[in-house]
Every structure is written in structure tokens, then in C-alpha cells.
Amino acid sequence: MPFTVDNDRLSSDPARMKPGVTPLVTLDPANPPTVQIPHMDFPRVVYKHPREAFRKVEHRNSMREVVEVEMVANEHLTRVVANQADLDQALVAGWVTKPYIPEPAPDPLAGLYDEKHEDKGKRKS
């Protein structure tokens, strides 16, 4: 579990100390008093993944001519659920608990200079 600084032990006013907490006499800045953060199931984020990984965005100039076609990664939608009933409803509606990790955009020049399978070894100089 992750840790956080124990603010109850850092209090220097004895009147504000909680019962059962020993006051801190000296503080080592490199090693402050810590407590574990308890794990909480809710609130939880659920995700709706896109059907297609990319969409094409056409950039046009003032004459409405296509200047550039850009491949943009689609992002997932998020929703915060507060309890188990909301989580069950979201799961039935198609939401998932695993986040969407987008794929890298395809390289338009990836196969431009590759040799063909038939021409391998038969290259003319």
C-alpha cells in the first residue's frame, strides 16, 4: 500500500493530540512519520473505449482545398461511479474497468521503400 505523512504525529500542540498517539519529539526530514493509505474501491473510474483507434482530420485552406490529412488517435470516455450498483449499471451499458491505451499512429511512409517479395535477389544495378 502507498504511504502518506502522518499529520497526527506532526502536531506540536499537546492539546490537539489525538488520544493514543505519541507526540513526535524530533523530526528527521529524510524519514518523516508515515501511515499507510487504505485502499478504497469507490469512487472508481470506468471507461468506454472507441471502436476505431484513429480518425482522419482533413486540414483545408481558405479555398477549401485539402492541405493535409492527419491521423489522430481517438480517446476513451470516462465516468466516475460511486458505488457497486452504479458500477454494475455501467458494466451492463458497455463501460469497462480497464483504461484504453491508444496505439501509435500508423507511419504513412512505412512500406514506401521496401523491396517487393518477387524482386528480392533479382535487383538490377
- Report the share of the chain in percent with pLDDT over 70: 90
Residue showing cell 521496401: 114
28 shares its domain with 45? no
- For the cut 80, the answer to whether the pLDDT of residue 22 exceeds it is no
Query: Residue 117: its pLDDT value, please?
Result: 60
On whether both 89 and 47 belong to a single domain, the answer is yes
Same domain, 91 and 54: yes
Report the pLDDT value the prediction gives residue 108, as an integer from 0 to 100: 76
**pLDDT higher for 124 or 11?**
11
Nearest Cα neighbor of 16 from 27, 7, 5 is: 7
Q: What average pLDDT does this structure show over 48-68?
A: 94
Report, as an integer, the average pLDDT of 87-99: 96
Q: Indicate whether 123 pLDDT > 60.
A: no
The residue range of the domain holding 54 is: 41-99
Claim to verify: residue 70 and residue 94 sit in the same structural domain: yes
Asked if the structure places residue 116 within a domain, the reply is no
Q: How many domains does the chain have?
A: 2
Task: Give the pLDDT band of residue 24 (cuts 50, 70, 90).
Answer: confident
- Are 46 and 90 in a shared domain? yes
Q: Is residue 53 a part of any domain in this protein?
A: yes
- Is 90 in a helix, a strand, or coil? helix
CA dihedral sign of residues 60, 66, 71, 77 = positive
- Mean per-residue pLDDT of the chain: 85
